[in-house]
Amino acid sequence: MSLNLDKSHWKRVTFGDVIRNVNETVRDLEAAGIDRVIAMEHMDPGELKISRWGSTKDGTTFTRRVKPGRTLFGKRRAYQRKVAYAEFDAICSGDIYTFEADETQLLGELLPFLVQSNGFFEHALGTSAGSLSPRTNWRDLKDFEFDLPPLDEQKRIADLLWAVELHRINTLRSKMEVSDAKSLMLAECLASGAEERGWTLTPVSEIVTSGPTNGKSARANDEQRGVPTLSISAVRDGGVRGGDYVKWIEVDPDSVTSFRLQPGDFLVVRGNGNRSLTGRGGLVKGGLPLGCIYPDLLIRLRFNPDRMLPAFAAEQWNSAAVHASLLENAKSTNGIWKINGKDIKSHQLVVPPLRDQAQILEKTTSFDEALGASRAEISALEALSSALLSEIFGGN
């Protein structure tokens, strides 16, 4: 899809020309009627809508005010691409910029898409400083240049981008409903088995032949030198993806043989800035380069096939109630939620007879088909949005 834009009448501007970096503070939250807190962990990469937040009742040191219509941008670890469009009053972390458009030049509803564009992120990453927790600053961001269309054309563009985004959000919501229904079905099967057939919870340490084992990390390169490994985002939707999620590190292949992956391996996310992604697991089914290993941010388990089918373990592990029980042990350090090998060893799963495990897996088939269709539609919408942003704002 192409918009066939005529940019000859667009005006070249800098970000600071049309955007105000608002640093409004609030001390008396009750008087201001503010009861929500937005931290970096509440902003999800690629998600403009804020669906999680903290409560001021729990106490906070944040004072930066958020008003509806402002665009939020996570200045710490900008590579995470955390951008959100505020829909309610709140206060937020000092690591979050609150941008407000000069409505005489730029429509506020177009601003979040500008900040989501590749060109803006390339500028933000290029101006970030610091090794462990790099931050970009307003002094550099305000110099970002882009072509700005007239207001009437901005309105048409913003309406189109929001239509695509709302379609994606609705599809994502439908996918979550199917996922919830699948988790409920699994929970009911396990509860019924426990009540009627005496199925019991068993620690992970008693049903694995290997693990939990942390992976191996080293500096990555772009020339495919050395050994293939995975990025943490390879663990997704209960599986482990290859393709763009594979990177390469320069290590002696013989020194990392113990980290090589094979079908049936189960990888668990050890740490993530998003608490809900911490502890998620993915089953290796194939499709990875020969000799592929896994990084230290992932933990590997190999289930005993005489007691637990790996596919059944993956389904149970990622179901809502079971994952929630693992997250009870998650701890936050510098904005990153983590679990460790000890947490995983003591984590408990129900172990039905293998025949029952296979029968329960058959019941998940229709759910998986619906989930697959939703994922395909979401991917198509994300690709469309990315193409539109590239055409409008430039960037690779």
Q: Which residues contact 211 (CB under 8 A, 6 or more apart)?
A: 299, 300, 301, 302, 344
Q: Which residues contact 243 (CB under 8 A, 6 or more apart)?
A: 287
Q: pLDDT tens digit string along 11-20?
A: 999 999 999 9
Residues pairing with 98 in the sheet:
22, 72
Band (pLDDT 50/70/90 cuts) for residue 137 is confident
Band (pLDDT 50/70/90 cuts) for residue 303 is very high
Band (pLDDT 50/70/90 cuts) for residue 396 is very low
Q: Is there a single domain that holds both residue 239 and residue 325?
A: yes
Tell me: pLDDT of 273 over 80. no
Task: Report in angstroms the alpha-carbon separations of 343 from 69, 214, 237, 313, 331.
Answer: 41, 13, 22, 16, 11
Q: Which residues contact 159 (CB under 8 A, 6 or more apart)?
A: none
Q: pLDDT tens digit string along 162-176?
A: 999 999 999 999 999
Q: How many residues in the chain?
A: 396
pLDDT attached to residue 253: 86
Tokens of residue 224, six digits: 């495919």
Q: Is there a single domain that holds both residue 154 and residue 268?
A: no
Q: Is there a single domain that holds both residue 103 and residue 64?
A: yes
Indicate the average pLDDT of the chain. 90
The pTM score is 0.79
Cβ–Cβ < 8 Å for 37, 55: yes
Residue for token digits 């985004």? 165
Band (pLDDT 50/70/90 cuts) for residue 197 is very high
d(CA 307, CA 352): 8
Tell me: pLDDT of 110 over 50. yes
Q: Is there a single domain that holds both residue 204 and residue 346?
A: yes
Q: Is there a single domain that holds both residue 207 and residue 347?
A: yes
Asked whether residue 290 is domain-assigned, the answer is yes
Q: How many CB atoms lie within 10 A of CB 295?
A: 21
Average pLDDT score over residue span 61-83: 89
Asked whether residue 92 is domain-assigned, the answer is yes
Which is nearest to 262 in space by CA: 209, 300, 308? 300
DSSP string, 200-230: -EEEGGGSEEEEEEE-----EESS--SEEEE
Asked whether residue 38 is domain-assigned, the answer is yes
Q: Is there a single domain that holds both residue 48 and residue 59?
A: yes
Q: Is there a single domain that holds both residue 239 and residue 113?
A: no
Q: How many CB atoms lie within 10 A of CB 376?
A: 11
Tokens of residue 88, six digits: 């309610």
3-class SS of residue 44:
coil
Q: Is there a single domain that holds both residue 142 and residue 204?
A: no
Q: Is there a single domain that holds both residue 204 and residue 344?
A: yes
d(CA 221, CA 374): 34
Tell me: pLDDT of 232 over 90. no
Write down which residue in 84, 115, 148 finishes a domain: 148
Asked whether residue 301 is domain-assigned, the answer is yes
Asked whether residue 4 is domain-assigned, the answer is no
Write down which residue in 114, 148, 182 finishes a domain: 148
Asked whether residue 5 is domain-assigned, the answer is no
Asked whether residue 230 is domain-assigned, the answer is yes
Cβ–Cβ < 8 Å for 227, 249: yes
Average pLDDT score over residue span 48-71: 89
- The enclosing H or E element of 35 equals none
Q: Is there a single domain that holds both residue 208 and residue 334?
A: yes
Cβ–Cβ < 8 Å for 299, 215: yes
d(CA 385, CA 166): 11
Q: pLDDT tens digit string along 6-47?
A: 888 999 999 999 999 999 888 888 888 888 999 888 888 889
Q: Is there a single domain that holds both residue 215 and residue 345?
A: yes
Range of the domain at 368: 150-196+353-395
- Percentage with pLDDT > 90 across the chain: 61
Q: pLDDT tens digit string along 328-355?
A: 888 887 768 889 999 999 999 999 999 9
Q: 212 preceded by cis ω (within 30°)?
A: yes
Asked whether residue 2 is domain-assigned, the answer is no
CATH number at residue 287: 3.90.220.20
Cβ–Cβ < 8 Å for 114, 388: no
Q: Is there a single domain that holds both residue 286 and residue 171?
A: no
Band (pLDDT 50/70/90 cuts) for residue 132 is low
Q: How many domains does the chain have?
A: 3
